Amino acid sequence: MSTTKLLPLLFISAGCESISNVCEPECSAGYACSAGLCLPADQACEPSCSFGHTCQSGQCVPVQAATAPAEVIPAPAPVELPPTVAKEIVDLGTVSAGSSFEVEIPSGLLSFQLDAISDTNDLALFVEATTPRGAKFLDAANRDEYLRRIAPTTGIASIRYPFAPTETAEPGRYTFRIDSRRPTSTFRLRATWCRALGSALDANIFLIGHPNLNAANAQQHPGLTQTLETFRRIYASAGLTIRNVRFVDVSQQDAERFGVVESMEELDELFWLGSRYSNDDALNFYMIRMITFDAGAGVVLGVAGGVPGLASAANWPSRGVAVSAAFMDRDSWTVSTTMAHEGGHYLGLRHPNEREGTMFDLLTDTPECGADRDADRDGIVSYVECAGLGAENLMFWSDGSTAPPQVTPQQIEMARRSSSLL
């Protein structure tokens, strides 16, 4: 197998190439460069506002003096929610790299998910999968179609089926093959059956590397409070409730090591950090200061630890999503949408189109912005080039919108089929 390092799905800022006070290329009209990010000119504050202050019209003002921001996300229409998701977790033992194995899928499932974990953190990949009727629905030999279905990560491999609402999880005996770059690798295997749509999510908010911000004062921090409120509203518009939120402090050593993540190797270590501090089914949001490794198309705002992520983290090494949150005092909107976007990946959603405009998700109601929209011929379809063709969607590959993010009915359906929901 190839030893090429594979990036998970990232959320990239539009128009900025570093975290310095320089933006390359220069920010467009109406935007200003702030800490290496192109922000609306009336929102940019440099340097960051101190604790107890918030950024308003480009100025740091005490929280008490700040006027309430305008609502940016309308309250969702009432949603008829089903009972709590029926979720069953089954331990399937161990499998070896390169081996094929069969799993008996019961009747009555909306979806099922298989998670395989390598105790040596090897790259793990489901490379083939076949239905009881003998139809192959996953094949690594067909690279482009494979990457529309699987996002390779190190340490853990996950596959959730069906890939779209137009498919069904027929009962019967499915065949899978798993592989790794190390032929001697073994994996612990677990299945999760989902029989009903989920409607709620618990969240652990890890506060890492933020001076004067900790679990004790988190609920009084204006930037974090606004960030979480907007995040809740985004998910509420899709019929999802953020139920219990727990703030988590880490050791001084971990805060110093992971406050700024500079490489994919550090990111992998960060995603395993939660197993030392939590043992529940909540989704871990690692609110670090900044992700600084080069993604080739701008500042990395966030990274998901899996697409989909682990169905349940309890008693397994924990995953989650990483979010660059250093600027939440002056741009809580971007941090909120990053949390929602990366959480969407963890729930199994993919980008409607990747940045080259040549690969698209499997949903039929998400807009497609193809390479023919690449007006400047730089090999990337940007937020501006894809306006009206998916740039406004929550799962678009780059940020840029200040309007309420859009989600489609099929995206909502697929997210609520996630085994991570309650």
- Please give the domain boundaries of the chain with CATH numbers for all domains: 87-194 (2.60.120.380), 198-416 (3.40.390.10)
pLDDT at residue 228 in the model = 98
Section 149-160 average pLDDT: 86
pLDDT at residue 120 in the model = 77
pLDDT at residue 221 in the model = 96
Query: Is residue 8 within 8 Å of 307, Cβ to Cβ?
Result: yes
Q: Is 28's pLDDT higher than 60?
A: no
38 token code pair: 């192109």
Give φ, ψ of 196 to 5 degrees: -150, 155
Mean pLDDT of the chain: 82
Give φ, ψ of 93 to 5 degrees: 85, -145
Q: In this predicted model, which residue has the larger pLDDT, 131 or 76?
A: 131
- Cα 337 to Cα 301: distance, rounded to the nearest angstrom: 10
- Cα 336 to Cα 73: distance, rounded to the nearest angstrom: 12
Q: Is 70's pLDDT higher than 90?
A: no
Section 303-330 average pLDDT: 86
pLDDT per residue over 166-212, tens digit each? 999 999 999 999 998 888 889 999 999 999 999 999 999 999 999 99
Query: Is residue 324 within 8 Å of 300, Cβ to Cβ?
Result: yes
pLDDT at residue 278 in the model = 85
Q: Please report the beta strands in 97-229, taking only residues with DSSP state E, as ranges in sequence order.
A: 100-105, 111-117, 123-130, 136-139, 153-154, 156-161, 172-179, 186-194, 200-207
Q: Calculate the CA dihedral of residues 248, 251, 256, 259 and round it to 10 degrees.
A: -10
pLDDT per residue over 76-119, tens digit each? 343 343 444 468 999 999 999 999 999 999 999 999 999 998 87
pTM to 2 decimal places? 0.82
> Residue 230 — very low, low, confident or very high, per pLDDT cuts 50/70/90?
very high
- Cα 291 to Cα 101: distance, rounded to the nearest angstrom: 38
How many residues are listed for the chain in this entry?
A: 422
Query: Is residue 351 within 8 Å of 361, Cβ to Cβ?
Result: yes
Give φ, ψ of 12 to 5 degrees: -110, 140
Section 340-363 average pLDDT: 96
pLDDT at residue 153 in the model = 77
> Residue 32 — very low, low, confident or very high, per pLDDT cuts 50/70/90?
low
Q: In this predicted model, which residue has the larger pLDDT, 120 or 215?
A: 215
Q: Would the CA dihedral through 84, 85, 88, 94 be positive or negative?
A: negative
> Residue 217 — very low, low, confident or very high, per pLDDT cuts 50/70/90?
very high
Q: Is 43's pLDDT higher than 80?
A: no
Q: Is 11's pLDDT higher than 90?
A: no
Place of tokens 């279905």: 149
| Residue 410, H or E segment | helix 409-416
pLDDT at residue 39 in the model = 42
Q: Would the CA dihedral through 145, 148, 154, 157 be positive or negative?
A: negative
Query: Is residue 39 within 8 Å of 54, Cβ to Cβ?
Result: no
Helix/strand/coil (H, E, C) string of 151-188? Answer: CCEECEEEEEECCCCCCCCCCEEEEEEEECCCCCCEEE
pLDDT at residue 2 in the model = 30
Q: Is 420's pLDDT higher than 90?
A: no
